[in-house]
Structure 1
Amino acid sequence: MTRIYVPATIEILGRLVADQEFDPMSRTAFAVTATLREAYSSGDDEELAEVAMDEAARASLRLIAGRVAEGGAEGVRFRRAVVAADVEEVTPRPDLDDAVVRLPGPVTIAQVAAVHVDLEEAERDVERAASVIDEADLGDSDAEFVLGDAEDHALAWYATQELPFLLELL
């Protein structure tokens, strides 16, 4: 069994609750892989899991930025979300990055261990970061600073059974 971290948005979480599953974009997730372990000279599994989750949170920000690019900011929830799930088989994708894995299929609610979501106070920083994430990826130091402001917010942990209530409150 492998613990994976799947980038999501609030809208994707809604789909997970409604359909009891969701199909991640390109079936891509993040996990503690052999390549990730090799890339770090120190760090236990818990620390490496944080690295994988941080990568998923950044990918969540990219999903948010993509939604804005498609149709503008109206209706977009500026909160990063990561679904932590346990799956049987994943395929490592070191050609993409050290922690990237490909999933064999959709993620079901039964596989979900927890959900991590930004709190309300992160929304402004996440919105600003979504508008500059491409520039940050290209090395713009001002954009990297803005991205860092969003990434400084810790994601809150929610049990799977809390997800419907969380979405209702949003």
Structure 2
Amino acid sequence: MRIYLPGTWPMLARLVKTGKFEPIGGTAFALTPRLREAYVAGDDEELEYAAMLEAARASLRLLAVEFGLGEDDTPARRVVVAADVDDVTLRPDLDDGAVRVTGSVPMESIAAVHVDVADAEHAVRQAAGAVDAADLGDLDAEFLVGEAEDHELAWYAPGEIAFVVELG
């Protein structure tokens, strides 16, 4: 199953260093039956994209925590790692596309990495500070999150990840 793992730049750097991606709480997103039911129309490719966007929103939440802990040097870029794994558990207690993976995800299972480009950093930093309020319905916060989500994530093959991290 293709899953989408939310991350941050330091997590991506650890992937390059260790060859494993360590998902926070085992949380990932995928095309689940519940996600399929949530959309009236859409083929598998469109629904996979929706799962990736849920992971990108979760990446904002991870960035909010890092910034809240004073990690201001962390690049304000959403990171989503796409991987193919067999062992996932559905998470009906979270978002429609939420799943849980056990343990780390090895580099061999990673299909691609999606990250924001430098031009998105201001919007992403603003959105990270507003994502919780947006989740609670604050319209101004939703606007800030929407500004970040208007930036498309760039796609990189697994062999390019080290170069992406190095060039930052």
What TM bracket, shorter-length normalisation?
A: over 0.9
Within 1, Cα distance between the matches of 2:129 and 2:26? 25
User: What is the CA RMSD across the aligned residues, in angstroms?
Assistant: 0.9
Secondary structure of the residue aligned to 1:4 is strand
Identity %: 57
Name the stretch that deviates more: 34-43 or 50-59: 34-43
1:17-56 equivalent positions in 2, closer than 5 A: 17-56=16-55
Within 2, Cα distance between the matches of 1:131 and 1:41? 32
Letter in 2 for 1:157: W
* Displacement of 1:72: 4.8
Aligned equivalent of 2:145: 147
* Displacement of 1:98: 1.1
Aligned equivalent of 1:136: 134
Aligned equivalent of 1:65: 64
Aligned length in residues: 168
Secondary structure of the residue aligned to 1:139 is coil
When normalised by structure 1's length, the TM-score is 0.96
Within 2, Cα distance between the matches of 1:111 and 1:39? 28
* Displacement of 1:115: 0.2
Aligned equivalent of 1:160: 158
* Displacement of 1:104: 2.1
Within 2, Cα distance between the matches of 1:6 and 1:153? 18
1:82-93 equivalent positions in 2, closer than 5 A: 82-93=80-91
CA deviations over 1:26-71 (Å, ceiling 9, x no partner): 1010000111111212111001001100000000011111001112
User: Which aligned segments of 4 or more residues in structure 1 are displaced greater than 2 angstroms?
Assistant: none
* Displacement of 1:154: 0.2
* Aligned equivalent of 1:117, options 115, 118, 125: 115
